[in-house]
């Protein structure tokens, strides 16, 4: 199959962020959304392709419910990294955002790794370009650099250890007490980790456009209307949100909290599609998406994650593109700090399988 390397398609529009140079797009003659037969049973076709191509479908909790239900594994960034490393499939279909699919490729270089939409980036990744990051590191030569997994392969390659929201605290607590630390790119997660570990860290000023929009005032107002409700928040939220929260954790930690806690109502301060898994796990509980500043916006939906659809997932499997690619030199340099995370992070939690 012929591939056209990005940037290539004349009519393509990439409205936000900086496209990674690690994406190969379908060639000009490949099937597109416009050429899909409207009578096609997309779900059945995806299942057929999964069998025929020996593919595994990984989905992040922020994907739409239909994709989560179809996936072989649904998980948080750390779970999915581990799954990607362990699978013996020939093709990994990564329904999440680009940096997650890059991690799969870094860990599984001999597999085809595809993503439904090449534009599915992340505001944290966009905030932290490799050149500026390198200058920041060079200005702090005595610091170890811990970098949140929400970053490009290039930034990973310039980092000492990669962390996720579920592994960061553990890894920081195991660093020598006198070791100065740089933390990038999420300043809210970094500040939360400083408060939790008591370590002073130099923080990169990036933020998540989703978690930044919740309003502490509106959450408090919602809580007063639902007095029994507990608030569960992701540590990418600003401190003002975490202060009004009953639980702070990664996506899988939040899921575990709402499932095991005896309360019946929860306000969820993270991307709203996670509520799909919550409802599946605890059908008798009520989950309310945390509101933003105007109280009624749909701001808890990640616009990058929302680019992925069943149709695009199907096309990615047919076309074997958009596919992740990178030079072996970059891959090996990015692999090192990822392997450090996988070595340093606590033993794997049970991964939640889809239906
Ligand atoms: P988790 O690592 O908790 O799954 O979070 C990933 C993410 O992108 C949060 O916005
Ligand atoms: Fe990135 Fe935020 Fe979307 Fe997560 S929710 S992928 S951090 S933009």
φ and ψ of 201, to 5 deg: -130, 150
Exposed, middle or buried, 121 (CB in 10 Å: 0-12/13-18/19+)?
buried
What would the two tokens of residue 147 be? Answer: 């970098």
Atom of ligand 2 nearest to the CA of 60: 6
Measured from the CB, is residue 76 less than 6 Å from ligand 1? yes
φ and ψ of 328, to 5 deg: -65, -35
pLDDT (mean) for 61-66: 97
Split at pLDDT 50, 70, 90, the class of 296 is low
* More reliable by pLDDT, 4 or 137: 137
Bond before 216 cis per omega within 30 degrees: no
Q: What is the pLDDT of residues 173-210, one digit of tens each?
A: 999 999 999 999 999 999 999 999 999 999 999 999 99
Measured from the CB, is residue 165 less than 6 Å from ligand 1? yes
Measured CA to CA, the distance from residue 211 to residue 281 in angstroms comes to 23
Measured CA to CA, the distance from residue 185 to residue 81 in angstroms comes to 19
Average model confidence (pLDDT) across the chain: 90
In SS3 terms, 4-35 reads as EECCCCCCCCCCCCCCCCCEEECCCCCCCHHH
Domains and CATH numbers, the chain: 11-122+305-345 (3.40.50.10800), 124-203 (3.40.50.10800), 211-289 (3.40.50.10800)
Gap from CA of 41 to ligand 2 centroid (Å): 30
Q: Which residue has the tokens 């990822």?
A: 338
Q: pTM of the full predicted structure? A: 0.90
Identify the residue whose C-alpha is closest to ligand 2 atom 6: 122
Identify the residue whose C-alpha is closest to ligand 2 atom 7: 208
**Residue 95, pLDDT above cutoff 50:** yes
The DSSP result for 44-102, as a single string, is HHHHHHHHHTTEEEEEETTS-HHHHHH-SEEE-HHHHHHHHHH---SEEEEES-HHHHH
How big is the CA angle at 214 (ends 212 and 220), to the nearest 5 degrees?
145
Contact 259, 236 (CB under 8 A): no
Substitution candidate for ligand 2 out of 20, 152, 304, 308 with most atoms within 8 A of CB: 304
Give just the sign of the alpha carbon dihedral 337, 343, 345, 350.
positive
The helix/strand/coil state of 144 is strand
Q: What is the pLDDT of residues 216-262, one digit of tens each?
A: 999 999 999 999 999 999 999 999 999 999 999 999 999 999 999 99
Identify the residue whose C-alpha is closest to ligand 2 atom 1: 122
Instruction: Give the pLDDT confidence score for residue 80 in this predicted structure.
Output: 87
Measured from the CB, is residue 77 less than 6 Å from ligand 1? yes
What would the two tokens of residue 318 be? Answer: 């047919």
Gap from CA of 25 to ligand 1 centroid (Å): 25
* More reliable by pLDDT, 87 or 44: 44
Give the ligand at the shortest distance from the Cα of 301.
Answer: 2
Measured CA to CA, the distance from residue 96 to residue 313 in angstroms comes to 11
Question: CB atoms < 10 A from the CB of 12, how many?
Answer: 12
Measured CA to CA, the distance from residue 163 to residue 146 in angstroms comes to 7
Measured from the CB, is residue 305 less than 6 Å from ligand 2? yes
Gap from CA of 187 to ligand 1 centroid (Å): 14
**Residue 352, pLDDT above cutoff 80:** no
Cβ neighbours for 193, distance < 8 A, ≥ 6 positions apart: 168, 169, 172, 183, 199, 201, 235
**Residue 104, pLDDT above cutoff 80:** yes
> Which residue stretches of the chain are H helix?
42-52, 65-70, 77-86, 98-107, 123-127, 130-138, 153-157, 168-173, 187-197, 216-225, 239-243, 251-260, 275-281, 310-319, 328-344
Q: What is the pLDDT of residues 135-149, one digit of tens each?
A: 999 999 999 999 999
Q: What is the pLDDT of residues 24-61, one digit of tens each?
A: 999 999 999 999 999 999 999 999 999 999 999 999 99
Q: Average the pLDDT over each of 95-104, 148-157, 190-199, 291-300 and give the range with the smallest value.
A: 291-300
Give the ligand at the shortest distance from the Cα of 206.
Answer: 2
Gap from CA of 97 to ligand 2 centroid (Å): 8
Atom of ligand 1 nearest to the CA of 60: 4
How big is the CA angle at 56 (ends 154 and 146), to the nearest 5 degrees?
30
């Amino acid at each position: 199959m012929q591939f056209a390397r990005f940037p290539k398609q004349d009519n393509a529009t990439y409205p936000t962020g900086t496209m990674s140079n690690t994406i190969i797009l379908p060639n000009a003659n490949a099937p597109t959304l416009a050429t899909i037969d409207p009578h096609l049973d997309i779900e059945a076709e995806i299942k057929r392709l999964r069998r025929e191509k020996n593919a595994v479908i990984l989905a992040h909790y922020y994907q739409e419910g239909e994709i989560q239900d179809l996936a072989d594994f649904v998980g948080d960034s750390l779970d999915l990294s581990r799954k990607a490393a362990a699978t013996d499939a020939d093709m990994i279909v990564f329904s999440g955002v680009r940096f997650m699919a890059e991690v799969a490729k870094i860990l599984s270089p001999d597999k085809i790794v595809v993503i439904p939409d090449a534009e599915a980036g992340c505001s944290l990744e966009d905030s932290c370009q490799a050149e500026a990051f390198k200058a920041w590191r060079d200005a702090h030569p005595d610091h170890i650099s811990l970098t949140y997994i929400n970053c490009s392969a290039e930034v990973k390659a310039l980092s000492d250890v990669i962390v996720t929201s579920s592994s960061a605290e553990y890894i920081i607590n195991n660093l020598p007490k006198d070791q100065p630390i740089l933390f990038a790119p999420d300043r809210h997660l970094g500040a939360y980790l400083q408060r939790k570990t008591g370590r002073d860290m130099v923080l990169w000023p990036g933020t998540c456009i989703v978690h930044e929009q919740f309003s502490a005032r509106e959450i408090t107002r919602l809580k007063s209307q639902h007095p029994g409700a507990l608030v569960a928040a992701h540590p990418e939220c600003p401190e003002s949100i975490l202060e009004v929260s009953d639980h702070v954790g990664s996506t899988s930690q939040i899921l575990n909290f709402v499932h095991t806690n005896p309360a019946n109502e929860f306000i969820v301060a993270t991307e709203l599609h996670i509520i799909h898994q919550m409802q599946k796990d605890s059908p008798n509980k009520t989950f309310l998406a945390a509101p933003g500043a105007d109280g009624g916006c749909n701001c808890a939906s990640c616009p990058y994650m929302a680019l992925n659809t069943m149709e695009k997932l199907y096309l990615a499997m047919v076309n074997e593109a958009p596919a992740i690619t990178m030079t072996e030199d970059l891959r090996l340099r990015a692999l090192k700090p990822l392997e450090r995370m996988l070595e340093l992070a606590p033993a794997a939690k049970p991964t939640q399988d889809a239906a």
